[in-house]
Amino acid sequence: MNYVKVAQDVLTALSGKENIQAAAHCATRLRLVIKDESKINQTALDEHPDVKGTFKTNGQFQIIIGPGDVDKVYDELIKLAGLPDMTKEDVNHSSSGPKGNIFMQFIKVLSDIFVPIIPALVAGGLLMALNNVLTAEHLFTAKSIVEIYPGLKDIAGFINTMSAAPFFFLPVLIGFSATKRFGGNPYLGAAMGMIMVSPALTSGYEVVSAAASGKLAYWNIFGLHVAQAGYQGSVLPVLVVSFILAKLEIFFHKRISKAFDFTFTPMLAIIITGFLTFIFVGPVMRNVSDGLTNGIMWLYNTTGPIGTMVFGFFYSAIVITGLHQSFPAIETQLLANRAITGGSFVFPIASMANIAQGAACLAVFFITKNKKQKSLASSSSISALLGITEPAIFGVNLKLKYPFVCAMIASGIASIFVGLFHVLAVSIGPASVIGFICIRSQSISTFLLSGLISFVLAFTITYIYGKRAMAAEVAAADSDLQVSTEEDIESVAEGTQLLDEIVYAPVSGDPISLKEVNDKVFSSEFMGRGAAIIPENGDVYAPCDGLVTVAYPTHHAYGIKTDGGAEVLIHIGIDTVNLNGEHFESFVKKDQQVRKGDKLCHFDLDKIKALGYDPAVITVITNTAEYASVERITHEHVASESPLIALTAK
């Protein structure tokens, strides 16, 4: 890589040094605060051979360069731009002010709150879908499975109990996540959520009927009649309550002396928030929530197939803007009130859009002659069909443009049938070809038909357009998208022949998929394939024999090039670069030879978690494209130095 040229190209694409307010870098990417993002030449960055991707987050524009190169590009960039050398913490401070309009800030807040709790909702949703399969009539036969096999009745009941829990206790989950997002103690938020769903209260699902029948109990508080009403399944009330709780806690922390702060701040924050919740905030926000739900359903019922067609057409474009991050809040509200709404129309439409993007990407696989692009299209299309669309959208379809548009058209047409036959989801799950498990039983066949229409149309339109009308453009795009030729790879590898290898676990803990990592650079596999581990201690060991190519002063990331040719990145925690090496101790340095099992570093796991950082230890093969396959070996608990990733050479 020509670091000076890359820095010059980046600076030009950003419209010069005058448009950069602050710049820093971490192990993989440039982190920039831009004065006017409308001046960025996004096309130039997307097509640059040394830029692996870009995205915006927390008021920063981040450009993915890769480990071992990003620091050198950064050095040249700040020289050219005349910027001071800044830490990531400095950049975070520079980007802490308002970015974008209020609406986009609100969307970002919703995303930060709901993304962490989605796994719990998905687990409950899929269990709910399984219960539906067991209990629904006219799904396989006229009778339900439990009617045909009565011995399964208690199993279905047990599954139903588990599936209902995340939604019944939803205020606890949201209270924890939202209070943390607003700067308060998440455990206080969870406690407030527990108060809102206390068994001593009338269930939120029964408040209306209890009030109508005169059975709703009231407290007499200072002459006020306060309803003893619970908030099971509520979303908006607990969001507002969490905000109030967090701000009260911050207020008391600043004004109560340290000797009394630990004891009295939590109590005062809880009791004041509790009074406000049941006297005013809860009842008002319950009405607002009901009004919002009714308004959404009115819009859906009024616009019908035309509305779903428009939504389906634009859904993937909405994903690019990031506005889809607000959808979990809407879906959760619709599902929590499914007795009234019937379920969520967002999920089936999202499924149509994801299937279409996957099918269009698969068509590119059959069109392109470029081996690199063919490999990317094959893996990305399967990922999109299973609900993870980022690799397909950002890696293939958007760069070629026409597959993305063809998929939008197919999704819009398929979504007509979703609206026409009122296809609704009764749970949250993978918005994909297997999404039928989340659809109410009477609509499963229509969902599958709509999905088939989406797939066939997207694939056919993309293939015909790409093969006949745009053959020359496809060839040109293939040339642009080719990251490296075989000669380039040989040059970079300096004659090293890639070998089949095993990369071992750098830490002990529970392995997870990269797609579960709370960082889109890793979860979308921009940097390559691999695995992550939720560590049980802070000892990090070399996962292979090789040369240390990256060892940052912050001690949170290491790169090793193995004798077999693999380029391995070990990244400790998410955004832990903010700590500037605090709570980390390194035992190796750059250009040092290491053997598998040599200690790379130690980090204080408890302190890092207490500071709110995700401690996941990520292992990525950054030259994944040079291998036939890179696969995680195990899903079970691993000890350090246990086999983790298998590499198969081409």
Is 438 among the catalytic positions? no
Of the residues 25, 422, 571, 583, only one is catalytic, namely 571
Question: Which of 26, 406, 544, 601 is flagged as catalytic?
Answer: 26
- Is there a contact between 410 and 361 (Cβ–Cβ < 8 Å)? no
Mapping DSSP to helix (H, G, I), strand (E, B) and coil, where does residue 355 land?
helix
CA distances from 278 to 153, 238, 477 (A): 39, 11, 60
Rounded CA-CA distance 557/559 in Å is 7
Q: Is 406 helix (H, G, I), strand (E, B) or coil?
A: helix
With CA atoms as reference, report the closest residue to 24 among 78, 67, 68.
78
C-alpha span between 436 and 451 (Å, rounded): 9
For residues 143 and 141, what is the distance between their CA atoms, to the nearest angstrom? Answer: 5
Burial class (CB in 10 A: 0-12, 13-18, 19+), 375: middle
d(CA 506, CA 333): 41
Q: How far apart are CA 549 and CA 552, in angstroms?
A: 10
Distant-in-sequence, close-in-space partners of 499: CB < 8 Å, separation ≥ 6? 564, 565, 649
In the annotation, is 361 catalytic? no
d(CA 125, CA 127): 5
Q: Say if residues 135 and 440 touch (Cβ distance below 8 Å).
A: no
Q: Strand, helix or coil at 453?
A: helix
DSSP state of 144: -
Q: How far apart are CA 408 and CA 359, in angstroms?
A: 11
C-alpha distances (whole Å) from 419 to each of 259, 305, 340, 348, 415 are: 61, 4, 18, 10, 6
The dihedral region occupied by 349, where left means phi > 0, alpha psi between -120 and 50, and beta the remainder, is alpha
The H or E element containing residue 617 is strand 617-621
CA distance 516 to 522: 9
Q: Helix 236-255 to helix 170-181 angle, to the nearest 10 degrees?
A: 40
Q: What Rg, from alpha-carbon coordinates, does the chain have? A: 26
For residue 63, the cross-strand partners are: 30, 54
Q: How many residues does the chain have?
A: 650
φ, ψ at 68 (rounded to 5°): 85, -20
The catalytic residues are 26, 571
